[in-house]
Amino acid sequence: MQRYHPLLVARHWLVALIIVFALAAGGIVLANTEPDSPDKVKGLGGHMLFGMAIGVLLILRLATRTRSTHPPKAATGGDLLTPLGQRSAEMDAA
């Protein structure tokens, strides 16, 4: 069974982890910081840094994905479900 390129998988999980940290930095830490506190600026800087890292990694992920091979489309093994799944995927892409 062919799978996605290991670099794509690693970047996927790295982005997922950074998103969790960015949400925590923006939601939990900054929400509990006073608006006029100097620590708020540091927290916002970290939150923005996470956001920029996510953006760069997503662009790299897209570039890698367009240049790498894709695994074959998954089949359900059923005569009815496989064509329905393919049509559904085509409708999502449109």
Over residues 27-46, the pLDDT tens digits come to: 777 788 888 888 888 888 88
Look at residue 67 and tell me if it is in a domain.
yes
pTM of the predicted structure, to 2 decimals: 0.62
- Residue 12: give the domain boundaries: 6-93
DSSP states of 21-71 as a string?
HHHIIIIIITTTS-TT-HHHHHHHHHHHHHHHHHHHHHHHHHHHHHHS--P
Look at residue 14 and tell me if it is in a domain.
yes
Q: Which residues of 42-56 are buried (b: 16+ CB within 10 A; e: fewer)?
A: ebeebbeebeebbee
69 vs 77 pLDDT, higher one: 69
Look at residue 1 and tell me if it is in a domain.
no
Look at residue 85 and tell me if it is in a domain.
yes
pLDDT of residue 74: 67
End-to-end CA distance of the chain, in Å? 28
Number of domains in the chain: 1
Look at residue 79 and tell me if it is in a domain.
yes
